[in-house]
Structure 1
Amino acid sequence: MNKAILMNFVVDKENKRINVAREFDAPLPMVWSAWTQSELLDQWWAPKPWQARTKSMDFRPGGSWLYEMVGPNGEEHWSKADYKTIEPLKSFSALDGFCDENGTLNTSLPRTLWQNTFTEKGDTTLVDIVITYDKLADLEQTVAMGFKEGFTAGLENLDLYLSAQFDLRKQNKTSNRARVTTYLNFPGKTEEAFSFYKTVFKGEFTGRGLQRFGDIAAPDGAPAMSEADKKLIIHIELTIMGGHVLMATDAPESMGFTLTYGNNMHINLEPQTREETDRLFNELSEGGTVSMPLQDMFWGAYYGSLQDKYGINWMLHYQPA
Structure 2
Amino acid sequence: MPVTDVTTDPEALTMTLTADFAAPVERLWQAFTDPRQLEQFWGPPGWPATFTSFDLEPGGRAVYRMTGPRGERSYGSWEFLGVDAPRSFEVLDAFADEDGTPLADMPQSRMVFGFETTDGGSRLRNVTHFASAEALEQVVAMGAVQGATMAMNQLDRVLEGLRAYAQGKGTRTEILDDQHVRITRLIEGPIDLVWRAHHESELLQQWLLGPDGWRMSVCEVDPRVGGHYRYQWQPLEGTEDETFGFDGETLVIDAPHRAVTTEHMTGTDYPATLNDLSLYEEDGATLITLLIEYPDAQTRDIVLATGMTDGMEASYARLEGALAGV
Quickly say closer, same or farther: Cα 1:140–1:120, change in 2 above 3 A: same
Q: Taking CA–CA contacts closer than 8 Å with sequence separation of 6 or more, which of the two structures ends up with the larger relative contact order?
A: 1
User: Residue in 1 aligned with 2:84?
Assistant: 87
User: Residue in 2 aligned with 1:23?
Assistant: 20
Unpaired segments of 5 or more residues in structure 2? 191-255, 259-275, 285-326
Deviation string for 1:265-302 (max 9, x for gaps)?
89xxxxxxxxxxxxxxxxxxxxxxxxxxxxxxxxxxxx
**1:160–1:218: 8 Å Cα contact kept in structure 2?**
no
- State the 1:130 CA deviation: 0.8
DSSP-derived class of the 1:167 partner: helix
Normalised by the size of structure 1, how large is the TM-score? 0.55
- State the 1:55 CA deviation: 0.9
Quickly say closer, same or farther: Cα 1:164–1:220, change in 2 above 3 A: farther
Identity of aligned residues (%): 26
DSSP-derived class of the 1:44 partner: coil
Structure 1 Cα separation of the partners of residues 91 and 63 of structure 2: 12
Q: Which of 28, 32, 35 lines up with 2:29 in the alignment?
A: 32
Quickly say closer, same or farther: Cα 1:234–1:129, change in 2 above 3 A: farther
From the two aligned structures, give the one with the greater strand fraction.
Answer: 2
User: Residue in 1 aligned with 2:44?
Assistant: 47
User: Residue in 1 aligned with 2:164?
Assistant: 167
Aligned partner letter, 2:71: G
Which runs of structure 2 are paired with 1:227-242 in the superposition (5 Å)? 229-230=184-185, 232-233=186-187
User: Residue in 1 aligned with 2:182?
Assistant: 225
Confirm or deny that 1:214 pairs with 2:170: yes
Which runs of structure 2 are paired with 1:160-199 in the superposition (5 Å)? 160-167=157-164
**2:21–2:120: 8 Å Cα contact kept in structure 1?**
no
Q: Which of 116, 125, 128 lines up with 2:125 in the alignment?
A: 128
DSSP-derived class of the 1:141 partner: helix
Deviation string for 1:128-165 (max 9, x for gaps)?
11101101011011111211111101011112333352
Structure 2 Cα separation of the partners of residues 225 and 212 of structure 1: 18
DSSP-derived class of the 1:139 partner: helix
Quickly say closer, same or farther: Cα 1:258–1:74, change in 2 above 3 A: farther
Q: Which of 42, 52, 58 lines up with 1:61 in the alignment?
A: 58
Structure 1 Cα separation of the partners of residues 12 and 117 of structure 2: 27
Deviation string for 1:12-65 (max 9, x for gaps)?
000111111111121111111111110011111111111101111111111111
Deviation string for 1:62-97 (max 9, x for gaps)?
111100011011111111000000100101100010
**1:159–1:219: 8 Å Cα contact kept in structure 2?**
no
Normalised by the size of structure 2, how large is the TM-score? 0.55
- State the 1:101 CA deviation: 2.0
Alignment RMSD (CA, Å) = 3.1
- The size of the alignment, in residue pairs, is 200
Confirm or deny that 1:114 pairs with 2:129: no
Quickly say closer, same or farther: Cα 1:150–1:256, change in 2 above 3 A: farther
- State the 1:252 CA deviation: 4.6
Aligned partner letter, 1:98: F
